[in-house]
Structure 1
Amino acid sequence: MITEENKLEGVENFWNDHLCGSQFINKEIYTPEFFNEYRAFRYKKEHHLLEIINDYDSTDRDVLEIGLGVGADTTQWAAKSKSHTGIDLTDEAVYSTTEHLKLLGLKGTIVKGSAEKLPFDDHSFDLVYSQGVLHHTDNIENTFKEIRRVLRPDGEFIIMLYTKDSFNYWVRIQFYFRLRLLFEIFKNKIGGKSNSTWDAHYKNFKNMGWKYWSWKEFPHHCTDGPDCTIANIYYKKEIIDLMVKHGLNVNRTEKYHFPIASNYPKLERKLAKYLGFYRFYWGDKGIG
């Protein structure tokens, strides 16, 4: 029987083995060259992030960041906030972020823990920031409850989640990737070989059968790699309703990230506004 604990352990194991973003950098991991190149890569590919972070005045704010990866955004918040606390489910991200802060001479408190049970007192933070993390939890409602609990009465949040209202979900994942999987199944049946990514998809298919191709299961494996088991994708209304249910007010949302080369930022930004895969939610702690 698969329990919530088993699922959480699976998520932890996956991200321990696949430190988010590290696969894009061809440098020895945890070296100054690795961290410097990663920051440059991240803010070229996701050029909206520095805008979002810099638009928020956190000079007198205590900031909590949920989900750390290599720690690039952590360095931005730590440099401009009254205090910064970061939490991640994995040892790998905790270590990477700690080393990243040390390299730049920045201060922050980095802890290991789950977004579904934050190890902080009530009313501890002015801002909760989470970029592309909470869709990897099996019970996102628990994370919203916890975020509300640790926010101060006038606290705010900035959260990014994958959105179904996007080109990436409907055209790439549900149409192109499905056709590609069928092609790879056929190719392997007649003795052909797939590249490493599609070979992993094919192995998953052999293990799970047609359940793997299902509308519910397949998208989980098409965002952060075939071995990723939980990568939920949501409708905007679905998330707003859940946030409101758990006492969080949503003040605005914006879409970002269209899957074209980052050499065309102006075009990418225009397309992402309507078809983007990353939806950011800005809001505050509701009354009650």
Structure 2
Amino acid sequence: MIQHEEIEKVENFWNEHLCGKQFVNEEIYTPAFFNEYRAFRYKKEHHLLEIINEYDSSNKDTLEIGLGVGADTTQWAAKSKSHTGIDLTDEAVYSTTKHLELLGLKGTIVKGSAEELPFKNESFDLVYSQGVLHHTDNIENTFSGIHRILRPDGEFIIMLYTKDSFNYWFRIQMYFRARMLAEIFKNKIGLKSNPTWAEHYQNFKKMGWKYLSWKEFPHHCTDGPSCTIANIYYKKEIIDLLAKHNLIVERTEKYHFPISSKHPKLERSLAKYLGFYRFYWGKKI
């Protein structure tokens, strides 16, 4: 059963925090804004263009779930027979539509939920989703929908946060948890936290020690303290859930280690084993 209240929380968060805009200083929605964002994105996440470009979509109808500022959308729209994008938020839909227009690219951009994909059966050859589906309340609803809208032997490329990572075990569960305890102590003796940790502290005041629980705390340590749903998965867990919906994983790879983008070779070497982003490539059976 789809919990619309939870989906609304996700929508509200991402409407207020358009993914990626915080990294750009230019006036939002201007050509300079989009140009700077694309440059930033593909420098920091240097694996993305390789992943997108290795797939020949020149004769394919592609779907992207979750859009953000629309950088990846422009890549798929430029190379696919047709490209459709869907996002839960008005902000991402507007941003992506504007991004395409400014680059003279064609694409169909719609507002909708990943858990209730509003497309006909067997509409697409490929479903691509990068860093989005871990923000769904029930990822199985999405996997079921992906199977339905893919054509026979249709393919998918999705990225989800993985527990098999340095970021999950050491940065979130250990360092962030220790920092949270320190911030609680600071506030108890009258000292103030910076804005991010002040927000964490307000969450703690509302939820009590439950906020630091093994299950609850990681949600708030990925995309901001007010992010309520940011699931982190084991590799086998996702492979099994996909298989349950007749989506078979053919390969996986890990990316993204939290160090400066000035050291891409080192970052990629570490990410191969300790990365927080796990990509899954597979197909419908």
Q: Tell me the TM-score normalised to structure 1 length.
A: 0.98
Structure 2 Cα separation of the partners of residues 142 and 7 of structure 1? 14
Residue 4 (structure 1) shift: 1.3
Query: CA-to-partner distance for each residue in 1:236-280, whole Å, 9 max, x for gaps?
Result: 000000000011010000000000000000000000000000000
Query: CA-to-partner distance for each residue in 1:7-47, whole Å, 9 max, x for gaps?
Result: 10000000000000101111111011100000000000000
What is residue 129 of structure 2 aligned with on the other side? Answer: 130
Matched residue SS, 1:279: strand
Alignment gaps of 5+ in structure 1: none
Q: Tell me the TM-score normalised to structure 2 length.
A: 0.99
Query: CA-to-partner distance for each residue in 1:193-251, whole Å, 9 max, x for gaps?
Result: 11111000000000100010000100000000000000000000000000000110100
What is residue 112 of structure 2 aligned with on the other side? Answer: 113
Matched residue SS, 2:168: helix
What is residue 150 of structure 2 aligned with on the other side? Answer: 151
Structure 2 Cα separation of the partners of residues 5 and 105 of structure 1? 36
Matched residue SS, 1:185: helix
Structure 2 Cα separation of the partners of residues 188 and 33 of structure 1? 41
Structure 2 Cα separation of the partners of residues 81 and 111 of structure 1? 17
Matched residue SS, 2:261: coil
Residue 87 (structure 1) shift: 0.1
Residue 5 (structure 1) shift: 1.1
Residue 181 (structure 1) shift: 0.2
What is residue 212 of structure 1 aligned with on the other side? Answer: 211
Residues paired across the two proteins, number? 284
Residue 112 (structure 1) shift: 0.2
Residue 145 (structure 1) shift: 0.2
Q: What is the percent sequence identity of the aligned residues?
A: 82
Structure 1 Cα separation of the partners of residues 166 and 56 of structure 2? 32
Alignment gaps of 5+ in structure 2: none
What is residue 251 of structure 1 aligned with on the other side? Answer: 250
Query: CA-to-partner distance for each residue in 1:60-92, whole Å, 9 max, x for gaps?
Result: 000000000000000000000000000000000
What is residue 98 of structure 1 aligned with on the other side? Answer: 97
Structure 2 Cα separation of the partners of residues 241 and 178 of structure 1? 30
Structure 2 Cα separation of the partners of residues 196 and 261 of structure 1? 23
Matched residue SS, 1:254: strand
What is residue 61 of structure 1 aligned with on the other side? Answer: 60
Query: CA-to-partner distance for each residue in 1:123-146, whole Å, 9 max, x for gaps?
Result: 000000000000000100000000
Structure 2 Cα separation of the partners of residues 74 and 43 of structure 1? 13
Structure 2 Cα separation of the partners of residues 214 and 186 of structure 1? 17
After superposing on structure 2, the runs of 4+ consecutive aligned residues of structure 1 that deviate more than 6 Å are: none
What is residue 267 of structure 2 aligned with on the other side? Answer: 268
Structure 1 Cα separation of the partners of residues 139 and 150 of structure 2? 17
Alignment of 1:1-288 (within 5 A): 4-286=3-285
